[in-house]
Amino acid sequence: MGYTNDGSDDFEKLRKAFKEVTAIFGSFDNLLEAFGLADMPQAQRYGIAFGCLVFLLTVIAVLTLLTLGGTFKRLEEQAQTGDATLLSSRDARAQRALLLERLLEGRERMVRNYPDPPTTEKLTSLTKMLSNVAPQRLDGLSELANESVTEEKKREIRRYFPPHYEENYVDAYRKCQERPGGAVLSGRPEARFEAYARAFAGCGPYTSVSYRRSYGRLYEATSCMNLATDDKYVKLFKYRPNDIIGRYIRLEALEVDRHLEGLYNLTSGDAGLENKSFDPEEIWGFLEDGPFEDAKAMRNSFIFMHLMNEAAFAIVNNITDKLMGCILLSKDDPQNLTIQLEPPLMQPTQEGSRELLESCFLLMDRLFAYGYRRLQISIDALDSDKRKLAMRLGFTLEGVLYKHMVVKESSRDSNIYGLLNSDWKRGARVAIFKELYGDAAFRVDSMNEKKEEEFDEQTRVLKEQKRTEQENALLIRNKKV
Ligand SMILES: *[C@@H]1O[C@H](CO)[C@@H](O)[C@H](O)[C@H]1NC(C)=O
Ligand SMILES: *[C@@H]1O[C@H](CO)[C@@H](O)[C@H](O)[C@H]1NC(C)=O
Ligand SMILES: *[C@@H]1O[C@H](CO)[C@@H](O)[C@H](O)[C@H]1NC(C)=O
Ligand SMILES: *[C@@H]1O[C@H](CO)[C@@H](O)[C@H](O)[C@H]1NC(C)=O
Ligand SMILES: *[C@@H]1O[C@H](CO)[C@@H](O)[C@H](O)[C@H]1NC(C)=O
């Protein structure tokens, strides 16, 4: 259908509509004349008019929405609070003013009143506590779970075992035997039992049982994916039984010999050292120390020198076995069952990666399993990446401490985030678990958890019944006597 003037109904309707608009200008034809368009064909003239009208209405609608939606007001507010554009972390840092010379001098003078607290390069007791436990003699492990090995031989093996290790190992081994977490590896019927048992017992006797089960299942699934992974993890356990194993990464206690050079290469941002160059300020800008001139300087920094109530772990990729960064814990306060998690130090490209998330998850889960009631993160208020991480891990912002610290000669406000054991149990753990391992893995895990809980409960009740029976029998015998 063309736009000719052959008296179509639609055209008449349009004409009517325009009449109302043109009433504003006296006559539409006058208006066109003013623009020198009077001698155009009528259809074209109305076409132009229609176009203008639609444009006008659109502009009005957009302006109305902006005003009613409060966008203008928000823009104005943001301009006032200086938040109009989100500064990148690096820019935010660069713009921070230095403290007055007088304050810096005073600080230096007053700090001298206190000797430095003792720090150590060796593994702290906290690092050791959080690492897996393992017997000194690994070759005896399978013999302990073997019923045909003599009691005498077992006694000899037991001398190399930490407390309760055997009990945990054998219990877990037997339980897994009845319900392995997946298909049995061909030719290795024992592989799953052994994997589950060494992970379960490795958590030590002081973590909660549900944690040990969950860690055991996760380890078993990762380790017994196929024959190759089984080989890898059996070997890993032989050489490094204390590492905390996740699916994507593992945590090794941070040691100078093993990790110093690699960590320096990784975080220095030097294109010659790692494949990708980046501004080292992206890693170190918000921290008290760094970037470092050389590995030796890093060795003397807070990364490798620790107070006794701190812990440090290297994050190592599960496939490539390459170092990816490190994660620290500080302010351990067992008296009050609280501890502070420091955000992992990794390359900027790892920001928000599952490797980074898993390194936090593994530590957090273990800390709560030991009975900590409160985890804390203290983050520079300008550090948007780390603030995001805290929220993603389920932490809640508890407050802002203004002028909390002096970092690199400028003032730092700190956002304090907290996560309670009750929050962890009620949902934070599930959320991270699902994000890391997927919904299906979570369903399987919670199903197994329920089954194991039931099984343990049954065993407990049976044991209790047996004990009462024995007591009753004893009572009856005593009465007879
Ligand atoms: C248990 O020990 C016996 C005798 O030492 C041995 O023949 C058998 O292979 C062992 N079984 C397992 C499952 O290791
Ligand atoms: C390591 O993690 C990847 C996922 O990043 C997984 O696909 C792979 O199977 C894991 N490898 C081992 C040996 O556990
Ligand atoms: C670190 O970089 C140096 C210099 O390129 C290199 O010689 C060394 O092997 C690297 N070390 C590690 C552990 O990557
Ligand atoms: C980094 O460089 C090394 C040697 O030049 C190379 O083997 C490796 O594949 C590179 N890694 C990446 C992630 O590009
Ligand atoms: C922890 O508890 C002890 C004793 O109750 C107290 O002296 C200490 O100040 C507490 N620590 C913190 C950080 O509140």
Ligand closest to the CA atom of residue 358: 2
Q: What is the pLDDT of residues 85-141, one digit of tens each?
A: 666 777 777 788 888 899 999 999 999 999 989 999 999 999 999 999 998 888 777
Tokens 């990794």 belong to which residue?
346
pLDDT (tens digit per residue) in 335-371: 999 999 999 999 988 988 999 999 999 999 999 999 9
From the CB of 265, is ligand 3 less than 6 Å away? Answer: yes
CA Rg value for the chain: 34
- Residue 50 is predicted with a pLDDT of 82
Number of domains in the chain: 1
With bands split at pLDDT 50, 70 and 90, how would you rate the model's confidence at 229? very high
Q: For residue range 403-438, what is the model confidence (pLDDT) as tens digits?
A: 999 998 899 999 999 999 999 988 899 999 999 999
Q: Which of 139, 144, 148, 188 to mutate to test the pocket of ligand 1 (most atoms within 8 A of CB)?
A: 148
pLDDT in tens, 258-300: 999 999 999 987 766 665 678 888 889 899 887 899 999 999 9
Q: Is residue 339 part of a domain?
A: no
Nearest alpha carbon to residue 3 among 49, 47, 34: 47
Indicate whether 2 pLDDT > 50.
no
Pocket test of ligand 2: the residue of 222, 223, 237 to mutate, having most ligand atoms within 8 Å of its CB, is 222
Identify the pLDDT of residue 391.
94
Question: Does the C-beta of 119 come closer than 6 Å to ligand 1?
Answer: no
At a CB cut-off of 8 Å and minimum separation 6, what does 377 contact?
A: 340, 341, 342, 343, 386, 390, 393, 395, 416, 417, 418, 419
Range of the domain at 23: 10-81
Residue 63's pLDDT is what? 80
Does residue 470 lie within any of the structural domains? Answer: no
What percentage of the chain reaches a pLDDT higher than 70?
A: 88
pLDDT of 23 over the 80 cut = no
| Protein residues whose CB sits closer than 6 Å to any atom of ligand 2 | 222, 225, 229, 232, 247-248, 318-319
Contacts (Cβ under 8 Å, ≥6 apart) of 28: 18, 19, 21, 22, 49
> pLDDT digits over 158-196, tens only?
888 888 888 899 888 888 877 777 788 888 888 899 999
How many Å apart are CA 85 and CA 36, to the nearest integer?
46
- Report the candidate in 106, 223, 236, 130 with the shortest Cα–Cα distance to residue 176: 223
Average pLDDT score over the chain: 86
Q: Are strands 374-380 and 338-341 parallel, antiparallel or unpaired?
A: parallel
Distance CA 14, CA 18 (A): 6
Confidence check: pLDDT of 38 > 70 = no
* Confidence (pLDDT) at 1: 43
pLDDT band at residue 319 using 50, 70 and 90 as cut-offs: confident
Instruction: Give the containing element (helix H, strand E) for 378.
Output: strand 374-380
Contact 259, 316 (CB under 8 A): no
| Non-local CB neighbours of 193 within 8 Å, separated by 6+ positions | 145, 173, 176, 177, 180
User: Is position 66 within any domain?
Assistant: yes
- Write the pLDDT tens digit of every residue in 87-99: 677 777 778 888 8
The better pLDDT of the pair 36, 173 is held by 173
Residue 71 resides in a domain: yes
